[in-house]
Amino acid sequence: MPLPDPSRRYPITLPDGSDHKGTVFLAQAVDHPRFQAGAFSYASDFDAPEDWASRLAPYLFPFSQERLVLGKFCQIAHGVRFITSSANHAMDGLTCFPFPIFDTEQMTGFQPDTRDTVIGHDVWIGYGAMILPGARIGNGAIIGAGSVVRGDIPPYAVATGNPAEVRRFRFAPEVIERLQALNWWDWPAEMIAEAEDALVSDNVEELERIAAK
């Protein structure tokens, strides 16, 4: 079957023909200079906001020095929050109190932490997870509900807990290597549509066959 139209803000149509306003393709719903979302990546919320960028990343301001980058085909559940680097205070002094932000002459450019937060392709982030400043999550990873993620999560890992730890990998190492080499999320839409059955199963051989055409 064809892929959903990535240019739609609301990609899910309900049986009555109306748009499901609680799920959006982020590339169409977010207009923020520091927030980048790849095609087909969506977020869902039971209390759908007008400003999806502020809901998901409340400390990411237009003047922030860091970026929040999400790859393609990511799945972001209700309650997920990205706590980006603008939220961090300096910790190398005798106090963490951010005196410069209260002074118009010092506040411009004051940001102790400027690390980007980078989420790979085809990442599922479960209900209520919190992604901390500078986190990097690899392609195909799953972040369990309520997890608190800091640092690096490898591709195709399943990570849960606070702090989130890798509990297992979704596939054997050689399969992960093959999936990483295929980069299916970058394929043309018609190829991805052809590969749907292989993608929703574990048929790497069929995916490779399609890639080799």
Which CATH class for the 23-170 domain?
mainly beta
| 32-63 residue pLDDT tens | 999 999 999 999 999 999 999 999 999 999 99
Q: Alpha-carbon distance 30 to 28, whole Å?
A: 6
* pLDDT on residue 179: 98
8 A C-beta contact, residue 89 and residue 110: no
Domain-by-domain residue ranges, the chain?
23-170, 173-213
The strand order across the sheet containing 130-131 reads 81-82, 130-131, 148-149
Q: Alpha-carbon distance 76 to 38, whole Å?
A: 13
| Residue with tokens 């199963």, as numbered in its chain | 201
Respond yes or no: is residue 89 known to be catalytic. yes
Give the closest residue to 179 by CA, choosing from 136, 122, 118: 122
Which pTM does this prediction carry? 0.95
8 A C-beta contact, residue 3 and residue 193: yes
| Catalytic entry in 20, 32, 78, 89 | 89
Residues of the chain with pLDDT below 50 are none
* pLDDT on residue 108: 87
* pLDDT on residue 103: 96
* pLDDT on residue 213: 84
8 A C-beta contact, residue 72 and residue 41: yes
Give the closest residue to 56 by CA, choosing from 24, 88, 21: 24
Question: Tokens for 117?
Answer: 């937060």
